[in-house]
Structure 1
Amino acid sequence: MADEEDLVSDTLAQITAASLERSTLEPRELMLARIAALVAVDAPPASYLLNAGTAMDVGITLEDVQGILVAVAPIVGTPRIVAAAGNLGRALGFAIELEAEAEAEAEG
């Protein structure tokens, strides 16, 4: 199962990299658009998590994400914004948990 998860994760990372390479947008602008799209399609926490590393790498901040939520709220509506905020929070919690597990393994 781990090999299948790695295959999917690696494939998604390659798709993200190709999108960054081929887009005419600057990487930061591209990731802002991707986050807005995730909100619009009511993406699950895992989708936010898969984009979080790249978003941080190009300088996306929590304030940027909040700005995106405010900007798209009139288009996608309150239910999508509330769902996105919850999904972002769950993704962040999961990321923190993974980091803590990795640190514990490194120490042990």
Structure 2
Amino acid sequence: MTMAEEENPVSDALLEITSASLERCNLEPREMMLARIAALAAVDAPPASYLLNAGPAADVGITLEDVQGLLIAVAPIVGTPRVVAAASNLTMALGFAIGIEAAAATEAEAEG
């Protein structure tokens, strides 16, 4: 099957890469998600990247306080601009996620 024939070649590739990372990583799930969030801050990731990791992070018990502590810890390494951008991008991602949940709840109420 060629990439043109695949329905979601980019998301499929990202899923494969993530699966391989999970299979080969010896970190506990919580530690791995903290490392991923730190890496997102380090590379100035966009809100969508944080959004894709928000669910798995919450699933392993990562809290807002954990993320704040993580950003404080990496600030001397990645720099103030990256930490400020990460905080902003996280806020946008969380706002988007809350908006999606609210829309789904409204739709469910309308159907029920």
Q: TM-score, normalised by structure 1?
A: 0.86
Q: Which of residues 32, 37, 51 is equivalent to 1:49?
A: 51
**2:96 maps to which residue?**
94
Structure number with greater Rg is: 2
- For 2:9 and 2:107, the matched residues in 1 are separated by 23
**2:61 maps to which residue?**
59
Q: 1:13 to 1:58 in 2, by over 3 A?
A: farther
Please provide the CA RMSD for this pair. 1.9
Which aligned pairs between 1:1-108 and structure 2 lie closer than 5 A? 8-9=10-11, 11-108=13-110
In terms of fraction of residues, the more helix-rich structure is 1
* Corresponding pairs, count: 105
The letter of the residue matching 2:54 is A
- Please state how far the C-alpha of 1:16 moved relative to its aligned partner: 3.1
Structure 2, unaligned runs of 5 or more: 1-6
- Please state how far the C-alpha of 1:10 moved relative to its aligned partner: 5.6
- For 1:10 and 1:98, the matched residues in 2 are separated by 22
Q: 1:74 to 1:34 in 2, by over 3 A?
A: same
